Structure 1
Amino acid sequence: MSGRLRIVLFSHSADGFAIAQSACEAAGHEPIAYVYARASRPGRGSGPGAPTAAAGIVESLPAGVDLLLPRSAASLARALPGYRPDLLLCNGFPWQIPRRVLDAARLGGINVHPSLLPRHRGPIPIHWAIRAGDRETGVTVHWMDEEFDTGRVIVQRGGVPLEDEVVPDELLARMDALTSELIPLALRRIDAGGSADASDVGEPQDEAKATYAGWMGEDFRRVDRTRTAREIHNQVRASRFGVYDPPGPVVEVNGRWVSVLRTRTDPGEGGVRIDCADGPLWIVESQSVERPE
């Protein structure tokens, strides 16, 4: 197969659409519609700035491209066939997309996932990569099926370092740059292979190496001193990559409760020492909070 693919883009942000749009065009293909859904976390409500994000998408919408705001997967499955899409492309979309939606496109759908699959499948892979102490991460473009992040890998690249001092904006910029490189590569491979069912388009994931990056549980909200210093340090590092209230895990120190924002595993200068399962950890930045219920 060779030709200009008609692609429907899925995302929850203006930046996500812009990156996918540019990458598709760079590969010689035509985005024909955007599908937007705002990000949310169970029990936490919608992601911050959802109305602002939608407004930004409308303002940057390319000429001739429609914006779809579906209420459900069923309504989306009814709407998409009218666009005669060849492919669906997700770049940061918060829904699990069912088969009836994937079947609306001739070739099915592909997803951009910010981890080295099969490691850290699920909604927050970067948080879990940091919490697990991974030294690097990367981006995977894979076929979509009925499960989360389990489809065949079309293209993947690592080499994005996870520094001890994580700076979210810098890390996201690296991931976005890598996404911009990999989407055109994936589309070229699909164009050469023909369809999502072709055995030579992508490689199956190794289930023995799979991990799942689900929503952080209540244990993420508190410091458990029975864990190692490195585990707690990585927990604090992961909390900086996201929006939490309070912004870091809480712990009682010298009779007062604090939200821990930054820690250090060596003595250095300054900081408040706490004892963990295998030794000390130093809290170097925190803020006072009310005693948790």
Structure 2
Amino acid sequence: MVLRVALVSFRADLFLALQEGCAAGGHEVVLGVVGRSRRPGGAAAAGIAAKVADVVPVLPPGVDLVLPGDVGGLVAALHGYRVDVVVVCGFSWRIPPIALAAPTLGFINVHASLLPRYRGPAPVQWALRNGDPGIGVTAHWMDERIDTGNILVQRGGIPLPEYVTFAELWPLLDPHIREVVTAALGRAETGCPGRPQEESLASYAGALEAEYSHIDWSWPARLIHNQVRTFHFGAGIAGPFAEVDGERVRVLRTRLTPGAGTRVQCADGPIWVTEAEPA
């Protein structure tokens, strides 16, 4: 069975990974969707234009790209293109029931964690914050809540580099995203409902709190090192800030073993600040 698939994302490389996952399963991409901010004064027109310019070249020839302004526009597009299933990887809207019911089979979301751990918008930041050695990718059916739907496919054991940026991470995840999309669509076409998530294991990875942008040298060294790694990836807030040798700085890199840098005593031992800039 060849499924008619709509892809929803916000980056050209993610569109390409989703598209390749569809193609590997023999399915047809019939529509691309970029979600515009629904907040007043959200994404500027220039930013949206740049996204469109990046995404259009990676879509299959003849596939339209739409930028729905509201849920009604999204529903109309899904009906108009006779979409069987929507594959999402990065979408800032909470999808209401009227939209979830628009495609024949439903919405599949691709999330960068092993759900039910790290539901929410910042799974990688929280994995770094907690010092996890790796992350996973989950494809699940979407429901009205955030990252709570039945799981179709999971892949774990993806190593997290000690220092990695948002832009550097996605190429590492691309092959895993392609794999889970192919497998998830294969299960979707058979009518697989997926398996329910274990609520007792659930955790939420929300936006980082403002207090986390300040380093407290009375914490254990490992926690502070992970704090710096989290901000190196991109935390959505500025930081982390600290006082080093009497100067207020933004700490960019640290190390836990002796070497170059400024030695600072923490609760359980020293840490070395190897890169910083004036706050």
TM-score, normalization: structure 2? 0.91
Which among 251, 266, 279 is matched to residue 276 of structure 1? 266
Which among 67, 71, 91 is matched to residue 73 of structure 1? 71
Shift in CA distance, 67/142, structure 1 to aligned 2, threshold 3 Å? same
Shift in CA distance, 51/223, structure 1 to aligned 2, threshold 3 Å? farther
1:13 CA drift (Å): 1.3
Distance 1:49 1:234 in 2: 31
Secondary structure of 2:216 counterpart: coil
Secondary structure of 2:189 counterpart: helix
Structure 1, unmatched stretches of 5+, are 195-199
The answer as to whether partners of 1:113 and 1:139 remain within 8 angstroms in 2 is yes
Structure 2, unmatched stretches of 5+, are none
1:39 CA drift (Å): 7.3
RMSD of Structure 2 on Structure 1 (CA): 2.4
Distance 2:68 2:163 in 1: 39
Which among 102, 122, 132 is matched to residue 130 of structure 2? 132
Matched, 1:13 2:5: no
Distance 1:146 1:62 in 2: 30
Q: Which letter maps to 1:81? A: H
Distance 1:156 1:23 in 2: 14
Matched, 1:262 2:260: no
1:24 CA drift (Å): 0.7
Counterpart position of 1:234: 226
Distance 1:213 1:18 in 2: 26
Distance 2:237 2:126 in 1: 18
Distance 1:274 1:39 in 2: 42
**What whole-Å deviation, never above 9, does each CA across 1:146-191 have from its counterpart, x for those lacking one?**
0111111100011111233436555322211111111111111112
Matched, 1:222 2:214: yes
**Percentage identity across paired residues of the two chains:** 46
1:243 CA drift (Å): 6.9
Counterpart position of 1:287: 277
Distance 2:145 2:48 in 1: 26
Runs of 4+ displaced beyond 4 Å: 44-50, 167-170, 243-246
Shift in CA distance, 245/155, structure 1 to aligned 2, threshold 3 Å? closer
